[in-house]
């Protein structure tokens, strides 16, 4: 059975790189009828944040990545880690090191001075025939694992292929600090082994951790999972993604008006593809995704593509769902008579829910100002006369305002009879009704608002001569 996990640290918000990793892990587990776990790596007590922890859980709920079982917290598993540290000590595969920080700093400086890679020199490593230094008073030891001194550490990475590290790459690294707290590589290995992870999908910034973790797996006789190291997401210039480029809190995407399914669709394509297909339902992702097909090179974040994708999802989203989503942005359409027509109209033009809200409010709200550039360009000396004639036409056809087609049928002949071009009539009407020049079709707006509201708004604009004073 396939078992995967996502294991964030609650030291900050969940960003999109982490969400992509969790999505890949989720898809692979679900595709194979397996288990997907959420584990919080909260052993760094000084940097942990309850707000960050809440944000991680909130983000998972929003995007709908359901995990199996309860959330696991490393901070509640310290006794388990101590048990395995003692096993390694008892078996002679780990040892206590009393080297002080000052001694380590001196060692590192001397190695760097002769251009050597800084590494622990094994002073306290027990070996046959070796006499260890006298234990210094008042020094709490760290626990180091006995790493192999020669040979290679090899594994087959599901993304990068065959990986090979010289054993000299891994020194006798610390698995427990002097305060007894186990280190990252140790607890990750213990958790992944005891939780029976079969596949570990994570960012390739963890690649250098893998040889160390394999040393721990082998020392404890644990089965080594399949590793997939996913290349990073870069900005369009190929540099590290910054908050300005999109590396922000996942929940910020909600606040900016993105739909969770659009964000997941966007992320699945940042490093994986199925030909030229751009839009994937969750069902299609589950059917097609295979981590072995993840690209070996880094992906580039493309804000325009995300915006386009979100617009496509908004177009296909039911009005009932959109009405609920808009309540998050303090827009309640429950008492709007023609809300379905309004949503059908606005969602064709919106790329985010924030844009959707503005488009709707531009139609529903009576304008208290008029776009000055638009007035200057489209409101002429004869505009008042044209609009007064059109108001009368609307009044004569008051009973025909119940469909867009009927409004179009009596408006087009009017434009021809008056010898007008379409913008000469429609742009002043848009400005009068919405305050701007970018609103949807005038026919649609008239149909949605009805005669009384249209008459009132045009009359008000004429009274003020489209002035903002």
Domain residue ranges in the chain: 78-230, 366-463
Q: What sign results for the dihedral spanned by CA atoms 335, 340, 341, 342?
A: positive
Element (H, E) at 318: none
Superfamily of domain 78-230 in CATH is: HUPs (3.40.50.620)
For position 46, what pLDDT does the model report? 67
Q: Consult the annotation and say whether 243 binds a ligand.
A: yes
CATH topology for the 366-463 domain: Arc Repressor Mutant, subunit A (1.10.10)
Q: Determine the length of the chain.
A: 469
For position 64, what pLDDT does the model report? 95
78-230 and 366-463 share one fold: no
For position 371, what pLDDT does the model report? 94
Task: Name the CA radius of gyration of the chain, rounded.
Answer: 32
Q: What are the residue ranges of helices labelled H in 298-365? A: 303-316, 319-327, 339-346, 353-364
Q: Read off the tokens for 309.
A: 């994708």
CA-CA distance, 85 to 94, in Å (whole number)? 8
Name the pairing type of β-strands 72-73 and 199-203.
unpaired
Q: What sign results for the dihedral spanned by CA atoms 454, 458, 463, 464?
A: positive
Residues 6+ apart with CB under 8 A from 247: 15, 16, 17, 233, 241, 301
Name the pairing type of β-strands 161-166 and 174-176.
unpaired
* Cross-strand pairs, 230: 203
For position 288, what pLDDT does the model report? 96
Element (H, E) at 425: helix 422-434
Residue-level pLDDT, tens digit, the chain, 469 residues: 999 999 998 877 888 999 999 999 999 999 999 999 999 988 776 676 778 888 889 999 999 999 999 999 998 999 999 999 999 999 999 999 999 888 888 889 998 888 888 889 999 999 998 899 999 988 899 999 999 988 999 999 999 999 999 988 899 999 999 998 899 999 999 999 999 999 999 999 999 999 999 999 999 999 999 999 999 999 888 888 776 766 688 999 999 999 999 999 999 999 999 999 999 999 999 999 999 999 999 999 999 999 999 999 999 999 999 999 999 999 999 999 999 999 999 999 999 999 999 999 999 999 999 999 999 999 999 999 999 999 999 999 998 889 999 999 999 999 999 999 999 999 999 999 999 998 789 999 999 999 999 999 999 999 999 998 7
* Cross-strand pairs, 97: 142
């Amino acid at each position: 059975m396939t078992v995967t996990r996502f294991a964030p640290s609650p030291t900050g918000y969940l960003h999109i790189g982490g969400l992509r990793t969790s999505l890949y892990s989720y898809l692979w587990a679900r595709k194979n009828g397996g288990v997907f776990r959420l584990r919080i790596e909260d052993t760094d007590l000084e940097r942990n944040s309850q707000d960050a922890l809440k944000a991680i859980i909130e983000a998972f709920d929003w995007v709908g990545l359901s995990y199996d079982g309860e959330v696991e917290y490393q901070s509640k598993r310290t006794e388990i880690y101590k048990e395995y540290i003692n096993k390694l000590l008892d078996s002679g595969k780990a040892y206590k090191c009393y080297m002080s920080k000052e001694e380590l700093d001196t060692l590192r400086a001397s190695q760097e001075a002769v251009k050597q890679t800084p590494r622990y020199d094994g002073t306290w490593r027990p070996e046959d025939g070796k006499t260890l230094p006298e234990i210094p008073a008042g020094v709490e030891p760290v626990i180091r694992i006995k790493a192999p001194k020669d040979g290679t550490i090899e594994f087959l990475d599901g993304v990068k292929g065959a990986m090979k590290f010289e054993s000299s790459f891994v020194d006798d690294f610390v698995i427990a600090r002097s305060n007894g707290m186990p280190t990252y590589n140790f607890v990750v290995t213990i958790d992944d082994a005891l939780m029976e992870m079969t596949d570990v999908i994570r960012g390739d910034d963890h690649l250098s951790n893998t040889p160390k973790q394999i040393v721990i797996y082998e020392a404890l006789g644990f089965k080594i999972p399949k590793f997939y190291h996913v290349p990073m997401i870069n900005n369009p210039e190929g540099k590290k993604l910054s908050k300005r480029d999109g590396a922000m809190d996942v929940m910020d995407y909600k606040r900016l008006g993105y739909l969770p399914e659009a964000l997941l669709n966007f992320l699945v394509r940042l490093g994986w593809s199925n030909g030229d297909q751009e839009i994937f339902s969750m069902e299609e992702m589950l059917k097609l995704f295979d981590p072995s097909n993840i690209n070996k090179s880094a992906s580039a974040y493309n804000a325009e593509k995300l915006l386009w994708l979100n617009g496509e999802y908004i177009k296909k989203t039911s009005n009932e769902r959109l009405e609920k989503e808009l309540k998050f942005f303090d827009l309640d359409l429950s008492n709007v008579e023609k809300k379905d027509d309004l949503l059908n109209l606005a969602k064709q033009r919106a790329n985010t829910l924030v844009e959707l809200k503005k488009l709707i409010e531009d139609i529903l709200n009576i304008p208290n100002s008029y776009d000055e550039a638009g007035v200057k360009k489209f409101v002429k000396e004869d505009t008042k006369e044209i609009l007064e004639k059109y108001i009368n036409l609307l009044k004569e056809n008051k009973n025909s305002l119940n469909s867009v087609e009927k409004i179009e049928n009596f408006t087009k002949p009017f434009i021809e009879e008056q010898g007008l071009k379409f913008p000469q009539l429609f742009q002043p009407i848009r400005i009068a009704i919405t305050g701007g020049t970018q609103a949807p079709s005038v026919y649609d707006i008239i149909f949605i608002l009805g005669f009384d509201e249209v008459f009132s708004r045009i009359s008000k604009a004429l009274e003020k001569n489209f002035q903002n004073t």
